[in-house]
């Protein structure tokens, strides 16, 4: 059983990296899809596996691409825990996915903003940096200036990611899911 769970967890990590890399290459605004694997694993395997998948994703990205990904593992771990706890208490359908996505839209920036401020002075290298600069120029403090653009991008990305997971699960064979958990 552990082998199945670890194999599926590894697939979820690959989903995170592949989708995140693909969307980054396409330069689609307000969408990342880099936590779809974390959300999928958390829904099907529970909060601890979700956290493991999320943290592992950032550690691998930190080793192979950019070490600054590693501190953001805290965000991905929190996503795994939150989704896993919600999915363990409620059927994770479309309504729950949207609500969970909205919760993640606030929680992820609350964790990621201080990390971004400490590492990059609040900038992210994305197109939303102009909004960070604008908010700083009009007198907003560094936290608010960094947090607001992150909320804007996450309010699109996190519900979309959660809804994608519900869609993916609805297309999986029922015996695959039951075999995964047995």
67/106 Cα distance (integer angstroms): 25
Closest to 161 in 3D by CA, of 74, 86, 102: 102
* C-alpha distances in Å from residue 153, one per residue of 41, 64, 85: 23, 25, 24
- Across 44-52, average pLDDT: 98
- Record the tokens describing residue 175, joined without a space: 């015996």
- What CA–CA distance (Å, rounded) separates 6 from 88? 19
d(CA 66, CA 126) in angstroms, rounded, equals: 16
Contact 146, 132 (CB under 8 A): yes
Q: In this predicted structure, what is the pLDDT of residue 102?
A: 98
Residues 116-145: pLDDT tens digits? Answer: 999 999 888 777 888 999 999 999 999 999
Secondary structure of residue 107 in the 3-state scheme: helix
78 lies in which domain range?
2-181
| Weakest-pLDDT range from 25-29, 113-117, 168-172 | 25-29
When comparing pLDDT for 127 and 56, which is higher?
56
Q: What is the pTM of this model?
A: 0.95
Residue at token pair 């919600």: 86
The predicted pLDDT at position 124 comes to 80
What's the confidence (pLDDT) of residue 147?
96
Rounded CA-CA distance 34/58 in Å is: 10
Can you give the CATH number for the domain in which 45 is found? 1.10.1760.20
Evaluate if residue 1 carries a pLDDT over 70. no
* In the predicted structure, residue 182 carries a pLDDT above the cut 80: no
pLDDT digits (tens, 9 = 90+) for 59-111: 999 999 999 999 999 999 999 999 999 999 999 999 999 999 999 999 999 99
What is the mean predicted confidence (pLDDT) over 16-43?
95
Q: How many domains does the chain have?
A: 1
Q: Hey, is 125 helix, strand or coil?
A: coil
pLDDT tens-digit series, residues 4-15? 999 999 999 999
């Amino acid at each position: 059983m552990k082998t199945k769970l670890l194999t599926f967890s590894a697939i979820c990590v690959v989903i995170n990296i592949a989708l995140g890399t693909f969307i980054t290459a396409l330069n689609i605004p307000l969408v990342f899809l880099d936590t779809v694997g974390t959300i999928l694993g958390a829904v099907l395997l529970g909060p601890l596996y979700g956290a493991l998948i999320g943290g592992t994703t950032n550690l691998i990205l930190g080793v192979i691409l950019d070490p600054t990904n590693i501190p953001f593992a805290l965000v991905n771990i929190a996503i795994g825990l939150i989704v896993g706890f919600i999915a363990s208490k409620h059927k994770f359908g479309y309504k729950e996915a949207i609500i969970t996505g909205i919760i993640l839209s606030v929680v992820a920036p609350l964790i990621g903003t201080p990390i971004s401020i400490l590492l990059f002075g609040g900038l992210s290298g994305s197109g939303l940096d102009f909004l960070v600069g604008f908010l700083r120029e009009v007198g907003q403090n560094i936290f608010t200036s960094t947090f607001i653009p992150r909320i804007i991008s996450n309010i699109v990305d996190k519900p979309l990611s959660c809804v994608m997971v519900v869609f993916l699960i609805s297309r999986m064979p029922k015996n695959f899911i039951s075999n995964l958990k047995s």
